[in-house]
Amino acid sequence: MFLMARREHRLVFKNIDVRGYTRDIACYQKHGGYEILKKGLAMGGAAIRDEVKKSQLRGRGGAGFPTGTKWSFIDPAKTTKPIYLICNADESEPGTFKDRQIIHKDPHQLLEGMILSCFANGVKLAYLYIRCEFTEGWKIMEKALEEARAAGFLGKNILKTGYDLEIYVHRGAGAYICGEETGLIESLEGKRAYPRIKPPYFPAVLGLYMCPTIVNNVETLCNVKHIVEMGGEAYANIGRSNNTGTRLLCVSGDVVRPGYYEFPVGALTLGQLINDVCGGIRNGNRLKAVIPGGSSAKVLKAGEVYKIKEKGLDGKMLDKEVGLEDLRLDFDTLAAAGSMAGSGGVIVMDHTRDMVECLANISAFYAHESCGQCTPCREGVLWLKKILGRIAEGHGREDDPALLKEVADRIAGRTICAFGEAAAWPVQSFISKFKAEFSARIARNGSASRHDTISLLH
Amino acid sequence: MDQRLGTIRFLYSIEKNMSCCQTHSMNPWNHDVAKDELDLVDVQVDGVWLKMPKGLNVVEVAHRSKNFIPHYCYHPKLSVVGNCRMCLFEMGTPKMNADRSPVMGLDGKPEIAWMPRPQIGCATGITQGMGIRTDSPLVKDCRNGVMEFLLINHPLDCPICDQAGECKLQEYSVEYGTGASRFVEEKVKKPKNVDLGKRIVLDDERCILCSRCVRFASEVMKDDVLGFVNRGSQSTLTAYPGKSFDNDYSLNTVDLCPVGALTSKDFRFQMRVWFLKETKSICTSCGTGCSTTIGSREGKVHRLTPRENEAVNSSWMCDYGRLNIHYLESKDRLHRPLLKAVGEQFPGTWTDAIHRAAEGLGKVKPEEIAVVASGRLTNEELFVLKRLLGELGVTRVDIVKHNGQADNFLRSGDGNPNGRGAELLGLSSGGRKFSSWGAEIVSGKIRALLVLGGEDVVAAGIPASALQKLDVLLFSGILGNETSRLAHVVLPSAATAEKTGSMVNVHGRLQRMTRAIPAPGEAREDWLILRDLREACTGGNSLHSVEDVWKAMAGEVPQFTGLSWAKIGDLGVQLEARSSLSEGTLVRA
């Protein structure tokens, strides 16, 4: 068991970093590329959708919504308008760098997954919305599309099945909010990436150009290829129930071996990831805190114990007390611990980290990225940043921690999109879990910051 | 009680719906009217069950049930964007049994499961059994939060802000805000005193980014010139680079702006709004007759703003009409009666002026008299004139045609505000008769000309040399012009803001105007001038007030039968169906 946990289960990352593996189509095909596409085209769209549903695949973008269910909102047979599929490659959550690896090192895997997903849902036109800052990735994807077109995997009458599909790469508008599903759609339509008001909660009915639209993450679409390859049930056997398949994990921060890893969902605990896979905390330091799913996830503190309901062997729900390092890295466990699996970005902090400055840094990011559409986020997030910057600079006030919490509480749940929560959750969790540290920082006011966080704040 | 309230609001909504049909083409959205006002569902608003039209948004439902939900960005005539978050409310849905039937409470009404997350009222349409809380602790906290957020970077320069007194930030601060600020950081700096267009100045620091102006320009005017640049708290309203917000309806955004970000160059720094007396009137700059509110103080009109009237102008008016108030203080304004003696005009008394005018008309035969009745006079004034002419036996009467600049929105191609009224009273041939009067004066057929409504007949085609041939030239008007300078008697009259009366617009809608300020100097309302002239000419007089004139007129003019002055109301009365009117039915009648 111990050894099993340390061994990666590479599915999406199978060929990544394999010596001699290149991103051109010839290499991809040599490794069995586009064979699954042929299989999928022979299966038919409904069968693929069925397999994806059986696989219990959950979206890898951050929210973890079941992909099969998302797809089922659209019935290609009954829809008169065109159906669009958008690949969300606007990866910009701090601490997350998995999609970038796929784009840079195995672009055709993404295309194969995309083409299969498009075929399954009767999509004739799809977009790959790629983060503006991924300049290299954009060029790589354009080249990969060209190769796929030349090879007959895209365009008219794909592999003589009569199925037509075109995919365009659209470069993002250079903002975090462009990764929000509806903001992305607005941006793709040529407007400011202002997220749309909900409901409708999904763009399934009124999406791109007011047509039914599916938006999936890069990793999610790659997984579709593997589901078609092995079948939904076999895929569901990887990982745990309701938390199936593999998950790309991006570990950053104070560990010996940070980087990207792929494991079955829930196959290992946070402690195993940090200590066994990543070689432990660096410099022999102690673990202080972990942000388990990208910078917007609530922070978990070392030494915390969580009450979690878990299905026992007899099928009954059991209440269990679980320590931080024993938390399974899956959607449900992390949600039960009050945080989230999010985008898979695991940020590890050791005991030398100043929590005030860490939070000030996170808030500076969200204040910079708030789109400015709705009031609580536009005004509140910048306010959070300013208070935190002031505390970090040694001008804190006694009431500041309470004020920070109140401001954050008045943002979360009251905004147009989930950005409000993304900006408020770190503040809420840092303040409540590291209250003493904030108070101490305020008490020793006047002493300047030890780190260079302040330069980030201005 | 609750049921009855619902019914009253429901009847009100039907009326609103019916009148609203006419402006559907003008406004892309009319959120204040349900798709089907008769398709009712049960909703619980603050504990009271009501019947309201299905799909109507919660802000409107609250409004109809007298439970106000505050809002900044929402406007019933613009698209819903939900960005201000001021209209957050607590929403509930019916609790369901296993068989999907609603769980009934002890009061026989469905029980409601309340959602923990507040929803925006502007974007939420009501469904059967929905629960709405507009005043719960959560809702209050939401509003308090939004108020605090909106004010932290606001300059708080109310003492020098034109919006002060009619500012939603001020109003809602009183209702939902906190007295003190917890904000000790530096405020965001943004552009101030930005020249957005010919008539509008923008203060970006006051702007709350509600996007009402952006939506108005884009959705109603189809002039997509406004937008936001930058991000987050630095978001800034601006005009497209190199473009300017100059369209003829730009000042409506000043009304739409809930704060002091957009101000009118014409009105700013002129008068504190709380000093303004508001008088309901109509605009007389063209035949549309938009409903207006005159804002005046101490005998001076400071501004004209559109008054909501779905049958005429919805919530809008053109900049041309709105700003057409400065002639009231023009240096050409006629303040005293003028009498011509030895080739020059001298100020005189009203008694002398009316006497000279009556004397002049008495010197010539009735068939030698021509009267320019003017489509700028009110129905009442025209009616007194009609009596006078009837008693004198004068039949040569017409109006001068004025061409307006039609714009396919509000501005009409007919420049006369009451050309229809003149037709209705039989005093107009639409300028056809008038066109031959120049020749008839020259040939001596016409020896006396009475010009009303300040018409400049010289500009309308009768040469000054012809007018000089007349035995009698009487002129009544607001401003001096070529014609007035040739007149033997000049009778100074009152402008729109200075008189009470009614007019019929080009679509056949009868509307009232009310006197807001007194006429300057000795100038008088036309109906009084005509009444006195009539008394001097024929001795006839039984009219002592505008209402008297209306009463007499309603007894004689078939289209006005059964209408009392009060019945016309603030929104007016449609005399005939619009469609038939546009084909000219009224002209034949």
> Are residues A76 and A114 both part of a single domain?
yes
Last residue of a domain, one of A236, A258, A277: A236
User: Quick one: CATH architecture of B338-588?
Assistant: 3-Layer(aba) Sandwich (3.40)
Tell whether A2 is covered by a domain: no
Provide the domain count of chain A.
3
User: How far away is chain B from the Cα of A408, in angstroms, using its nearest Cα?
Assistant: 10
Angle between helical axes of A435-443 and A355-369 (0-180°, round to 10)? 100
Q: Is the pLDDT assigned to residue B5 strictly greater than 60?
A: no
Tell whether A15 is covered by a domain: yes
Q: What is the pLDDT of residues B48-64, one digit of tens each?
A: 999 999 999 999 999 99
Average pLDDT of chain B is 92
User: How far away is chain A from the Cα of B232, in angstroms, using its nearest Cα?
Assistant: 4
Q: In sequence order, which residues have a C-beta less than 8 Å from that of residue A120 and are 6 or more positions away?
A: A40, A45, A46, A48, A49, A52, A71, A224
Q: What is the pLDDT of residues B266-299, one digit of tens each?
A: 999 999 999 999 999 999 999 999 999 999 999 9
> Are residues A400 and A450 both part of a single domain?
yes
How many C-beta neighbours within 10 Å does residue B368 have? 20
Spatial contact of B306 and B285, defined as CB atoms under 8 Å apart: no
Fold exhibited by the domain B2-135 = Ubiquitin-like (UB roll) (3.10.20)
User: How far away is chain B from the Cα of A367, in angstroms, using its nearest Cα?
Assistant: 7
> Which has more confidence, B229 or B12?
B229
pLDDT given for residue B581 in this prediction? 41
CA B485 from centroid of its chain's CA atoms: 34
Note whether A374 contacts B84, CB cutoff 8 Å.
Answer: yes
Note whether A414 contacts B152, CB cutoff 8 Å.
Answer: no
Note whether B149 contacts A370, CB cutoff 8 Å.
Answer: no
Tell whether A307 is covered by a domain: yes
Q: Do domains B156-329 and B338-588 have the same CATH topology?
A: no
Note whether B118 contacts A414, CB cutoff 8 Å.
Answer: yes
pLDDT given for residue A438 in this prediction? 96
Last residue of a domain, one of A236, A257, A287: A236
Domain CATH for A205: 3.40.50.11540
Q: Which residues of A touch B116 (CB under 8 A)?
A: 413
* Average pLDDT of adjacent 10-residue blocks, chain A of 458 residues: 65 92 96 95 96 96 92 92 97 95 97 97 97 96 97 95 96 95 96 93 89 96 97 94 94 96 93 95 96 96 92 79 93 93 95 95 96 97 96 93 97 96 97 96 74 51
> Are residues A168 and A293 both part of a single domain?
no
Last residue of a domain, one of A350, A367, A386: A350
Q: Which residue in B255, B267, B327, B276 sits closest to B498, CA to CA?
A: B327
> Are residues A291 and A406 both part of a single domain?
no
How far apart are the C-alpha atoms of A321 and B406, rounded to whole Å? 77
Tell whether A61 is covered by a domain: yes
Strand duo B397-398 + B448-451: pairing: unpaired
> Are residues A52 and A134 both part of a single domain?
yes
Taking CA atoms, what residue in A is nearest to B120? A414
Cα-flanking dihedrals φ and ψ of residue A146, to 5°? -60, -45
C-alpha dihedral, B21 to B24 to B26 to B31, nearest 10°:
120
Tell whether A388 is covered by a domain: yes
> Are residues A337 and A385 both part of a single domain?
no
User: How far away is chain A from the Cα of B243, in angstroms, using its nearest Cα?
Assistant: 19
Q: Which residues of B touch A201 (CB under 8 A)?
A: none
Spatial contact of B251 and B322, defined as CB atoms under 8 Å apart: yes
Joined together, the tokens standing for residue A359 give 């939070």
Domain CATH for A408: 1.20.1440.230
Q: In sequence order, which residues have a C-beta less than 8 Å from that of residue A44 and are 6 or more positions away?
A: none
How far apart are the C-alpha atoms of A347 and A252, rounded to whole Å? 5
pLDDT given for residue B28 in this prediction? 86
Tell whether A275 is covered by a domain: yes
> Are residues A412 and A322 both part of a single domain?
no
Q: In sequence order, which residues have a C-beta less than 8 Å from that of residue A259 and are 6 or more positions away?
A: A250, A251, A278
β partners of residue B42: B51
Tell whether A3 is covered by a domain: no
Joined together, the tokens standing for residue B74 give 């929402």
Burial class (CB in 10 A: 0-12, 13-18, 19+), A28: buried
> Residue A239 in 3-state DSSP?
strand
Domain CATH for A273: 3.10.20.600
- Please compute, for residue B93, the number of CA atoms within 13 A of its CA located in the half-sphere on the CB side: 12
Q: Which residues of A touch B145 (CB under 8 A)?
A: 376, 380, 410, 414
Of B85, B118, B153, the CB nearest to A374: B85
> Are residues A62 and A124 both part of a single domain?
yes
Taking CA atoms, what residue in A is nearest to B151? A379
pLDDT given for residue A202 in this prediction? 84
| Amino acid type, A14 | K
Note whether B232 contacts A390, CB cutoff 8 Å.
Answer: no
Tell whether A404 is covered by a domain: yes
Of A379, A403, A414, the CB nearest to B142: A414
> Are residues A44 and A125 both part of a single domain?
yes
> Are residues A75 and A170 both part of a single domain?
yes
- Residue spans per domain, chain B: 2-135, 156-329, 338-588
Q: Which residue in A267, A268, A270 sits closest to A251, CA to CA?
A: A270
**Would you give the DSSP letter of residue B518?**
P
β partners of residue B229: B236
Q: Which residues of B touch A372 (CB under 8 A)?
A: 209, 228, 230-235
Note whether B84 contacts A376, CB cutoff 8 Å.
Answer: no
> Residue A268 in 3-state DSSP?
coil
Q: What is the pLDDT of residues B147-169, one digit of tens each?
A: 999 999 999 999 999 999 999 99
> Are residues A181 and A298 both part of a single domain?
no
> Are residues A337 and A377 both part of a single domain?
no
User: How far away is chain B from the Cα of A198, in angstroms, using its nearest Cα?
Assistant: 8
The residue range of the domain holding A93 is 9-236
How far apart are the C-alpha atoms of B490 and B529, rounded to whole Å? 11
B156-329 is classed CATH 3.30.70.20: yes
Q: Is the pLDDT assigned to residue B18 strictly greater than 80?
A: no
Taking CA atoms, what residue in A is nearest to B184? A387
How far apart are the C-alpha atoms of A48 and B77, rounded to whole Å? 46
